[in-house]
Amino acid sequence: MSESRDILPVASAGKTGAWLWSELRTRRLDGLGTLIIGLVAAASSVVPVYVLGYLVDQVRAGADTSVIVRVTIIVVVAALLGGAATGLSTLLIARLCGRILADLREKVVGRALTLPTPVLERAGKGDLLSRVGADVATIGQAVSETVPIMVSSLLLGVLSLAAMAGIDWRLGLAGAVAVPLYVIALRWYLPRSAPGYKAEREAIAERGQLLVDSAQGLPTVHAYRLEQRHLGEITTASERARDVSISVFTLFTRFVGRVNRAEFFGLAAILVIGFWLVENGAVTVGQTSAAAVLFHRLFNPIGMLLFSFDRIQAGGASLARLVGVITMPSEPEPSAARVPADASLELSDIDFTYDGTHQVLFSVGFRVEPGERVALVGSTGAGKSTLALIASGALRPERGAALVGGVPVTELPPDQLRRHVAIISQETHVFAGTLLEDLRLAAPDATRDDAVAALRTVGALTWVETLEDGLDTAVGEGGHELTAAQAQQLALARLVLLDPAIAILDEATAEAGSAGARALEESAVAATADRTTLVVAHRLTQAASADRIVVLEHGRTVEHGSHAELVAAGGRYAQLWQAWEGRTPAPVQ
């Protein structure tokens, strides 16, 4: 079995309902207009049946054939009006729900982009992707297909019962006999199906996570011959999702039987009471016929209403998962923003653990003076990247603090933190769009000349000018494919445009390979010129050119000083440098 994860929260039914009600309240006029058109559509469906009873009584009374013409005219007008109103009602309901869903999707994505890194790492990308993918699709299907049917069926049911009660209250009461039976069926079904649909969504999310992990780690899977293991885990997760879906569908078929039972007793009650009322002269045959037909016509809409709970439950489970994301508590905003005194970066007595058990950093502390370039060096797993994320404000330490100009990064508002600190990692994403648009992500107001200057600074203008459309070349998915080195230069050019006081490079030249590493190192130096810079060094040549070097081992600082000082000291750094010079394998990543 795969390792268990702390998935993102799922909102309770009460919280989900409260959120949905608040969204509807903000759209009162749209909701009211939709309700009125829905009532017109339902009333248009009731009128033909009502006049049918009138026709039966007129025929029994020996009326002339002109009554048929009048009834026909009424039925045709009602059908035309009802058809138009039904179509418009469906459109309005879908539009109202679609707008709510669109806003919800944007809020989920917006919240996801601000989630702390540890939360995403614990939950896994699969859970989040299934929410903005499969869950949104499930709700979208409910919005376009199920909700309009549900609303129209509910309104038709209410008006039909009202029409039966208008003929005779006892006929209305007889028809209402089915209502408690419907309620009993729902009360039996809903508590049993809700956990099933929740388990189904979770099973799908688990399967999605396994697929994402296997796809992203495909080279590693092949390298260690883990294909069968991963296929086995995916098969197990898929079988679980299948079994849960089958159990939910089995439960639904039992629910259908209870609905049919309610319909039988309701129609039987109307026919028995109607016969008795006709015998006693309380109602006419036509009125009883109309009541029976009205109830019988409810079989399909009420059945669709009740059966739609199958999809509504699935949509509700998906909605709860999305609301769970947007209602996650945000990081508290600083009560009063402080302005950093300078461009220094200080890490003070940092302790950190990802899981609360295994400590990654132990009382790590050092200061990077304004304009100084400091390199972090150490073995794989020493905690270098973790420390870089803490310095950038992406992670919060268990103890200690990261300070920018004397101000803790946790006290800086996001926009102010972004202006002061920027981090570039070895995993650089090229967004779909033109090259110019990609660059402007860092500075939306940057001019074309600013973009050209930034590219020139990092040495990227040469290859950009060789592109057929230059800055207007489409890159990212479906566009011109950039090499790893070009993508990193693009990220460094964004850094130049953003112009932060402090730059953090987390192995930002690791993807270039041996051939392009030197050129990319020069690009990084140019992009960080005159900036306070913290470099997680992938290549020791980066460390050698730094003003100062901090050596980490097993989460602790073991050495610090200049390149010359550390080589002369003959400690851990000297060992690493000797191995690097001899190009022998060294545990530096």
pLDDT confidence band for 1 (50 / 70 / 90): very low
215: tokens are 């796809």
d(CA 158, CA 485): 67
CA atoms 147, 153, 157, 160: torsion sign: positive
pLDDT tens-digit map of 336-393: 567 888 999 999 999 998 777 788 899 999 999 999 999 999 888 888 888 998 998 8
d(CA 145, CA 280): 46
pLDDT tens-digit map of 117-138: 656 666 666 677 778 777 888 8
pLDDT tens-digit map of 442-452: 888 889 999 99
pLDDT over 60 at 588, yes or no: no
Q: What pLDDT sits at residue 345?
A: 94
Predicted TM-score (pTM) above 0.85: no
271: tokens are 């026919």
d(CA 316, CA 18): 13
pLDDT over 60 at 3, yes or no: no
d(CA 211, CA 205): 10
Q: What pLDDT sits at residue 7?
A: 65
pLDDT over 90 at 325, yes or no: no
d(CA 38, CA 92): 9
Highest mean pLDDT among 91-95, 219-223, 551-555: 551-555
Q: Tell me what the mean pLDDT of segment 582-587 comes to.
A: 51
Sheet hosting strand 407-408, strand order edge to edge? 359-368, 345-353, 399-404, 407-408
Q: What pLDDT sits at residue 500?
A: 92
Cα-trace Rg, the chain: 34
More confident residue, 562 or 146: 562
Residue 373's nearest CA partner among 550, 571, 577 is 550
pLDDT tens-digit map of 409-440: 888 887 788 889 988 887 777 888 899 998 99
Q: What is the phi-psi region of residue 328: left when phi exceeds 0, alpha when psi lies from -120 to 50, beta otherwise?
A: beta
DSSP, collapsed to helix, strand or coil, labels residue 375 as strand
Half-sphere exposure of 394 (CA within 13 A, CB side): 19
- Percentage of the chain surpassing pLDDT 90? 17
